[in-house]
Amino acid sequence: MNPIGLLLIGASALLPAWQMFGFADLADHSALVSQYLGMLALVLMAWTQILAARVPGMERLFGGLDRIYVLHKWSGITALLALVMHDLIDAEVAGARAGALADLGEGLGEFSYYGLLALTALSVAMVVPYHLWKWTHKAMGAMFALGALHFALVAKPFAMTDPEGAFTGLLCVAGVLAYFWTLIPDRLRRRQSYEIAQVERTGDAVAVTLSPRGRGLRPEPGQFGIVAFQQGEPHPFSISGIGPDGQVRITMKALGDDTSRLAEQLRVGHTVAVQGPFGRFRRRGTGPQVWIAGGVGITPFVTWAKALPKGTGPVHLIHCVRDASCAAHHEELTALAAEKPELRVHLVESGRTGRLTADGLAAIVGPDLSRSSIAFCGPTGLREALSRDLAARRLHSGRMQYEAFEFRTGIGIEAIAQWIGHRLLQTMRRYRLLPL
């Protein structure tokens, strides 16, 4: 994560608090706290929309697109918690301007608040199909826009032209514009047209070679594209091969609603649209390196291995799979290792030897491990377990670089979803929409 982007979001979240110090002489300090929490929620919701817009230059400011999506998720969660606290603490300040527009603003705020609660509960439910999950996210932007109108109209101890109102208002405008940008259909966005040139099985995955209908992408090793096949929704796929004349290869495994059907439907000649390239997962340095892949996470390392210059390493590429038959691109990597003495390929079969641990890693790599940089691509659970094991062996896990790309994740959210569901039930009973 680029610290510049984090500092930018943090400063914009704290600025309204500093501005609100100007009202410290008001008797009701709890109302001021609630006012700030509402502004904080709007600032962070505006950032969630801006981060989702994939505006050029965002990766340079915040880090790779995978980090941007993680930041997008946690900004949204923090905004929701601030919004809940804003609702629980009375925000009405005595003497604040009121009227018909303020009453309208109150109504919009209530609708926006409960709409966000309901959409969040749906969004974090992993059983919801991807295409429905996608639209819950789109609808959240509409709820944010209503919340911004609530802020503009509701009674408060300052005007929208005052610094307190202008800063939050302008950021809300930027967020709403970003939301409208995300509503533009993918077919109208800048993307490259490809056609499928080859489809082949490799391990338990499918490798799809794409030939450009035009200039094509110019990806670097380790990057990915957002690919829309004729039969499904756009999804991110790491690029496992970079060929001449803009040709690229992606490798996919059945991990979700759409990818589970794609392998049987893909045909040579089908048209494919690709946005990108994205990502900043790049090989570091020329010293000893350990690359750890879990399952289909081998894909970026295939391009790294092909681009590996002489004099680098040694490089230990460790591919963790259930058994050898599942190992995608294994023959290709074995052939590369025969050509490149600095590359050493190791297969770890969890069904036979158990999951890879720090002790197992040390046995494979040897004394080079203590001075190696580590790159990881694969399941979050494996990465976290290895990080704990490395820390226990006094090997600093901060040396591990990894991609954190997950469109849908329940990390730390299940309990929040349960709390939101309980809150919704209480509200519905309060308004007698459900029996007591």
Instruction: Render pLDDT for 369-392 as a digit per residue (tens, 0 to 9).
Output: 888 888 999 888 888 888 888 887
3-state secondary structure of 6: helix
If we measure between CA atoms, which residue out of 148, 139, 154 comes closest to residue 107?
Answer: 154
Domain ranges for the chain: 3-184, 188-278, 289-402
Strands 373-377 and 400-402: parallel
CA distance to 44, 197, 237, 248, 263, per residue, from 231 (Å): 35, 17, 15, 20, 11
Mean pLDDT of 96-109: 76
Residue 409 has pLDDT above 80, yes or no: no
CA–centroid distance for 190 within its chain: 21
Average pLDDT value over all residues in the chain: 82
By mean pLDDT, which of 116-125, 164-173, 331-340 is the weakest? 116-125
425-428-430 Cα angle (round to 5): 110
Residue 364 CB neighbours (<10 A): 16
- C-alpha dihedral sign at 375, 377, 382, 387: positive
Residue 344 CB neighbours (<10 A): 15
Mean pLDDT of 253-274: 73
- C-alpha dihedral sign at 343, 344, 349, 350: negative
51 compared with 286, residue with greater pLDDT: 51
**CA–CA distance, 224 with 240 (Å, rounded to integer):** 9
Q: CATH fold of 188-278, please?
A: Elongation Factor Tu (Ef-tu); domain 3 (2.40.30)
**pLDDT at residue 410, as a whole number:** 45
Distance in angstroms between the alpha carbons of the first and the last residue of the chain: 47
3-state secondary structure of 355: coil
DSSP state of 97: -
158 compared with 336, residue with greater pLDDT: 336
Most confident of 109-118, 333-342, 364-373: 333-342
pLDDT-derived band at 412 (thresholds 50, 70, 90) equals very low
Let me know if domain 289-402 sits in CATH 3.40.50.80. Answer: yes
82-8-105 Cα angle (round to 5): 40
pLDDT-derived band at 93 (thresholds 50, 70, 90) equals low
**pLDDT at residue 63, as a whole number:** 80
| Tens of pLDDT, residues 268-303 | 989 999 988 888 888 888 888 999 999 899 999 999
pTM of the predicted protein model: 0.75
pLDDT-derived band at 334 (thresholds 50, 70, 90) equals very high
Let me know if domain 3-184 sits in CATH 3.40.50. Answer: no
Is the peptide bond prior to 185 cis by the omega test (within 30 degrees of 0)? no
**CA–CA distance, 371 with 387 (Å, rounded to integer):** 16
| Tens of pLDDT, residues 149-190 | 998 888 777 888 888 889 999 999 999 999 998 888 766 777
**pLDDT at residue 397, as a whole number:** 55
**pLDDT at residue 411, as a whole number:** 41
- What are φ and ψ of residue 391, in 5° steps? -65, -40
If we measure between CA atoms, which residue out of 412, 379, 381, 422 comes closest to residue 76?
Answer: 412
Residue 153 CB neighbours (<10 A): 20
